[in-house]
Structure 1
Amino acid sequence: MTPPPFLRAPAFPQHRAQITAAADAPTPLPADALDQLRHARVGGEFWSEAAPWSALECSGHLTAAGTDERVAIAAVLDLPVTVLTPGPYGKPGDDLHALRARLTSLLASARYIDPFTGADSSFTATIALLGQWRREIEANRTIAVASGMAWWKRDEIRRFLWVPERDVRFVRKAARALAVARKANGALAVWPSRVSPALLAAAHAQETGIVRVEDGFVRSVGLGSNLVPPASVVVDTRGIHFDPATPSDLEHILATTAFTTALTDRAQALRQMIVIAGISKYAAQTAAPLPPRDPKRKRVLVPAQVEDDMSVLAGGGGLTSNLELLRRVRALEPDAEIWFRPHPDVDAGHRKGAVPDTEALRYADAVMRGGGMAPLLDVVDAVHVLTSLTGFEALMRGAEVTCHGTPFYAGWGLTRDLGAVPERRRRCLSLDELVAGVLILYPRYLDPVTGLPCPPEVLVARIAASQATNRLGWVAPLRRWQGRLMTRLRAFAR
């Protein structure tokens, strides 16, 4: 039987990911190839709960056959090895130098493949992807059970929280979920809007960790309120990014990461990719007709929000009214041309926060409906937000941003902050350091074609190429009908 390649993908249930094949000619490797392996801790069954990397680091000496992958891993880790019988990873008498040379030769005999496209890839890109998969799988091992996840997003949540030895278990009742987590001595994954103070208190009392799972920032090809499953989420072990009252994993990333040039260059390229493709949270959308520009007036966009959204309640500093936000913007920008953008979930009739056009036009020059958010951001000078993600999207496009509340991107030296900013956020970041933390290091992504966990560039490329589709497309017409009905019922009630 042919042994498996030293570098291979975990056995994801949704798709068999091929990352290597036999090469017709030796593949040039970077000089630090084995150092990349050591840093990423990938090779062999690195995804296994009994992964050999940690076990070898705890041992003083390895004695094994040359067919044992642990020989190669020990050589990468510079651990002493005695090889008993010959095999692809070593033969009796090999010292560490010889073992490392054998592994380098094996790695050079492979062709590296992008599992998302099937095209040729590089050794470095392959190691980076395997490292991402390892980190996500290891983080998922702490999660014993999930609760509060809507039925229509569970297939995606299973993929985001997957570990090889088990499928994530969903439990509807919070009390039962806590009992399962306690018995398994693991954490409970929850959707933040489904978390009650009583649940948090009970989890604290029994010393059960809470892991919050929430939509990512490049989310999908449609609205969550239309039951479009997310292609991106965040998995936060400290808190959640939209609540400034407590630390979050995102805040920790932004405050402590030593951003390398390679990482900020990658963030810059990703940012440019998103801007050029016209992508915002709900994918790429067309532009609606725009009013003629008055060159003498500053053009300001005010995006409305769902007034009972958790980010508004947590980060709005007591301000929840879209109309009041608009009034404040007019007071600060008396000579500006102000555009008011209703929230799509509210306009669809699903959520709270509607402002009649007659009321909005007391302070705004135009109410902008139709088309996507990105085309609007391309033509405005400034954006005023409460906590809306639109402010971050505006920063990526070079617009001036004023925050009336405390969104996750406030307090890092890039915005005008009118809301209270936590003392924890006193570090000044460049735009691409912010983008690196927010779009690369914090969220998780799924490739909409293969279903595999992927880097953000893959999802953005799929959206730009119209390859991202909605698995539950049949639900959208029903939700639109429901939204129109609810809008009429609210109008009748008034």
Structure 2
Amino acid sequence: MTAVPSQTDAPRTIVIGFRRWRAWNLRPMLRAQGGTLRFVRDVAGAQAHGPGADDRVIVWGAGTPAGLPALIAHSGATLVRVEDGFIRSVGLGSDLIPPRSLVFDPCGIYFDATRPSRLEQLLAQTAFDAALCDRAARLRAIIVTRGLTKYNIENPAPPHWRSHGRQVVLVPGQVETDASIALGCAAAGVRTNHALLVAVRAARPDAFVVYKPHPDVMAGNRRGALAARATHGLADHVETGASILACLAHADELHTMTSLAGFDALLRGVPVVTHGMPFYAGWGLTHDCAGDHPAHRRRGRRLTLDELVAATLLLYPHYWDPAKAAFVAAESALAAIASERDRLRASPAHDRHARGFWRRQGRKAGVLAWAWLGPGLRD
């Protein structure tokens, strides 16, 4: 079972710089860990609370607000970075849908390959026993059978491309401003969707290359779209309808910079080529083109797929059940996500929920209104 933060020995928690909608969405999860919770705008606000060695300071992702290192050094407080988990929700985070899983990392963060994260430490050091690996294998079977991904909103219909017998290479697009690219790809390596397609075409000149834009880009929430002319001669097909899972079911190989789609592919037995250093690279399960990256040199251990799953989905994240207002086991959370996704697919509102622009904007406006007009966030 994933260790759930204790409510009896939890330190005081000071959260720096969360946007109000994020603070509103995450407050129940942070409060469930016990202790006093404070949301502040910046490091000065945190300093005003006089943090000490028994306290923890939380920031989102890989961000380092001005003055944060000095605050941590002088106070002795524990710095914890928080991010969405790998199977997050039914709906996009960029649509302000609350997460069902979070990671709390006191070392780094999983997508920052410039330094070890707690996940990397787990993968490098854990003695994976048979019981844990068996549990991971069962969880992986649930994920594959139920067709779960990070956001769980895409159309499950199969793709309609025709490869005419050629090897199908799937290339998932990424949000090019994401920290996972800045921190997971070498400065002189592949760092854009266009550069990735160029590298794939050079490596697989005879393949049928399918480019799939990122869902946040498709939804209009993030930048990173490639113009059709930019894919000409590089991709044989641009897939904008079928889900990543439907594409994987018809792919022979996946190439990526740091996309979570590579992890989805590994779970389903699809060979993966990495051009950056995502958390799942460097453990002997992928073909890594960035072998000179410092993270690759740190990750010398060879893992089985179930060991990778055990650390990534059982030991590292915490899973949340909003109905119970409590942390739960991974299996329980994934079952709830799958059930919610299935109910939504069976409803007439499915397409509007997943892709309807105005419906999504209205839902986001509701979250923002509650965040600004609801009870105060300074507990």
State whether TM-score is above 0.5: yes
Give the number of equivalent residue pairs.
348
| TM-score w.r.t. length of structure 1 | 0.65
- Structure 1: state its 5+ residue gaps: 1-127, 482-494
Paired residues for 1:337-352 under 5 Å: 337-352=208-223
Q: Look up the equivalent residue of 1:224 and give its one-letter code.
A: G
Q: Is the 8 A contact 2:161 2:237 kept in 1?
A: no
Which consecutive segments of 4 or more residues in structure 1 shift more than 6 A?
467-470
Q: 1:475 to 1:157 in 2, by over 3 A?
A: farther
TM-score (norm 2): 0.84
Deviation at 1:201, TM superposition (A): 4.2
Distance 1:356 1:164 in 2: 46
Q: Say yes or no: does 1:406 pair with 2:277.
A: yes
Structure 1: distance between partners of 2:142 and 2:297 = 33
Indicate the residue corresponding to 1:462 in structure 2.
Answer: 336
Which residue of structure 2 aligns with residue 282 of structure 1? 151
Residue 295 and residue 269 in structure 1: after superposition, are their counterparts in 2 closer, same or farther (change >3 A)? farther
Question: Deviation at 1:279?
Answer: 1.0
CA distance in 1, matches of 2:232, 2:70: 45
Distance in 2 of aligned mates of 1:247 and 1:404: 19
The Cα offsets for residues 460-488 of structure 1, whole Å up to 9 and x where unpaired, read as 11122226999xx897234799xxxxxxx
Q: Within 5 Å, which residues of 2 pair with 1:74-223?
A: 132-133=3-4, 136-137=5-6, 141-162=10-31, 166-180=35-49, 182-183=51-52, 185-192=54-61, 194-196=63-65, 198-223=67-92
Q: Within 2, Cα distance between the matches of 1:286 and 1:298?
A: 24
Counterpart selection for 1:308 from 148, 164, 177? 177
Residue 297 of structure 2 corresponds to 423
Which one of the candidate residues 474, 477, 481 is aligned to 2:361? 477
Q: Is the 8 A contact 2:82 2:102 kept in 1?
A: yes
Could you say if the C-alpha distance between residues 477 and 259 of structure 1 is closer, same or farther in structure 2, counting changes exceeding 3 Å? same
> Against the structure 1 CA distance between its residues 467 and 154, is the aligned structure 2 distance closer, same or farther, given a 3 Å change threshold?
farther
Q: Structure 1 residues 201, 352: closer, same or farther in 2, change over 3 A? A: farther
Q: Please give the secondary structure, in 2, of the residue aligned with 1:169.
A: strand
Helix, strand or coil at the partner of 2:319: strand
The answer to whether the 8 A contact 2:96-2:364 is kept is no
Q: Offset at 1:151?
A: 2.3
C-alpha distance in structure 1 between counterparts of 2:327 and 2:301, whole Å: 31
Q: Is the 8 A contact 1:279 1:285 kept in 2?
A: no
Q: Which has the higher contact order (CA 8 A, sep 6+)?
A: 2
Q: Deviations over 1:140-168 (max 9, x none)?
A: 72453112223223344233333575342
Q: Residue 212 of structure 1 aligns to which amino acid in structure 2? A: R
* Residues 1:441 and 2:312 aligned together: no
Equivalent residue, structure 1, for 2:103: 234
SS in 2 for 1:428: coil
Q: Could you report, residue by residue, the CA deviation over 1:19-68 in whole angstroms, capped at 9, with x for unpaired residues? A: xxxxxxxxxxxxxxxxxxxxxxxxxxxxxxxxxxxxxxxxxxxxxxxxxx
Residues 181, 436 of structure 1: CA spacing in aligned structure 2 closer, same or farther, 3 A cutoff? Answer: farther
Q: Displacement, 1:266? A: 0.8
Q: Does 1:253 align with 2:127?
A: no
1:440-466 CA distance string (max 9 Å, x none):
000011124323211111121112222
Q: Gapped runs of 5+ residues in structure 2?
A: 345-352, 366-379
CA distance in 1, matches of 2:339, 2:19: 29
How many angstroms apart in 1 are the aligned matches of 2:8 and 2:178? 28
Q: CA deviation at 1:186?
A: 1.4
Partner of 2:348: none
Alignment of 1:323-342 (within 5 A): 323-342=194-213
Q: Distance in 2 between matches of 1:379 and 1:346?
A: 23
Look up the SS of the partner of 2:298 in the other structure: coil
Contact 1:181–1:188 (CA<8 Å) still a contact in 2? no
Which residue identity is paired with 2:175?
Answer: V
Corresponding residue of 2:369: none
SS at match of 1:234: strand
- Cα deviation for residue 198 of structure 1 reads 3.9
CA distance in structure 2 between the partners assigned to 1:184 and 1:360 by the alignment: 53
Aligned to 1:436, the other structure's residue is in SS state helix
Partner AA of 1:389 in structure 2:
L
Asked if 2 retains the 8 angstrom alpha-carbon contact of 1:149 and 1:191, the reply is yes
In structure 2, what is the equivalent of residue 70 of structure 1?
none
Residues 172, 213 of structure 2: 8 Å contact kept: yes
Paired residues of 2:256 and 2:273 also in contact (CA < 8 A): yes
Question: In the alignment, residue 437 of structure 1 is paired with which amino acid?
Answer: A
Secondary structure at the residue paired with 1:380?
coil
Q: Residues of 2 paired with 1:182 and 1:192: CA distance?
A: 21
Following superposition, the deviation at residue 182 of structure 1 comes to 2.2
